[in-house]
């Protein structure tokens, strides 16, 4: 079974570089998450309880902006993958990474977790995901738009040819009219 073209990584990197890019993204998210909470509340332990949703959203927004900006800059440098950096990795990191970090630092809050995620309709976690993802996606769009606007067509085509796989390039990139 072949991997979908959208999930391919850039061709100019090794597997180790790819893994380090993703690991770096997780660390950047945690720095943004706890740094944002500390900057607003003065104490990162306010996110220890699963019921402290507002505080978690504040950290999530800060972490989201940090990780999407980091992965956008990695995209520009040709690390990660075209779809992976702009959507898949940051969305998974923003959704999942806060839990293990809080549990390692403050211990798991099983009761709060059950209250938050168990029930017929799990609406709040979806709202939180959207609330924290939108600012980060906006940061990604800003970084990539600025980069694309200052890049000359010749350099853009060279970057595409250098970093995108041949199959991805042929399928998704408009060929220049020569």
What the block records as the tokens of 96 is 């999942």
CB atoms within 10 A of CB 126: 10
Q: Is the confidence at residue 178, as pLDDT, over 60?
A: no
pLDDT in tens, 45-58: 999 988 888 999 99
pLDDT in tens, 71-117: 999 999 988 888 888 899 999 999 999 999 999 999 988 887 777 77
Share of the chain above pLDDT 90, in %: 52
pTM: 0.88
Name the pLDDT band for 41 (thresholds 50, 70, 90).
Answer: very high
Q: What is the pLDDT of residue 39?
A: 97
Identify the residue with better confidence: 125 or 30.
Answer: 30
Which stretches of the chain are DSSP H helices?
15-41, 53-77, 82-83, 89-96, 98-106, 110-117, 124-150, 153-163, 166-172
Distance CA 71, CA 79 (A): 8
Distance CA 144, CA 83 (A): 13
Distance CA 125, CA 102 (A): 16
Share of the chain above pLDDT 70, in %: 92
For the segment 116-130, the average pLDDT, to the nearest whole number, is 77
Look at residue 52 and give its three-state secondary structure.
coil
Look at residue 43 and give its three-state secondary structure.
coil
Q: What is the pLDDT of residue 112?
A: 79
């Amino acid at each position: 079974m072949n991997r979908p073209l959208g999930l391919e990584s850039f061709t100019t990197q090794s597997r180790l570089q790819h893994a380090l890019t993703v690991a770096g993204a997780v660390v950047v998210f945690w720095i943004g998450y706890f740094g944002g909470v500390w900057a607003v509340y003065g104490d990162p332990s306010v996110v220890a309880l699963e019921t402290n949703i507002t505080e978690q959203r504040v950290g999530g927004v800060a972490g989201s902006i940090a990780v999407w900006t980091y992965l956008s800059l990695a995209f520009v440098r040709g690390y990660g993958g075209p779809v992976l950096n702009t959507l898949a990795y940051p969305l998974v990191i923003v959704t999942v990474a806060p839990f293990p970090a809080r549990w390692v630092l403050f211990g798991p809050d099983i009761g709060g977790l059950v209250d938050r995620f168990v029930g017929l309709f799990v609406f709040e976690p979806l709202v939180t995901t959207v609330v924290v993802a939108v600012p980060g996606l906006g940061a990604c769009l800003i970084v990539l738009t600025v980069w694309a606007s200052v890049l000359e067509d010749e350099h853009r085509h060279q970057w595409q040819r250098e970093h995108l796989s041949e199959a991805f390039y042929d399928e998704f990139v408009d060929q220049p009219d020569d």
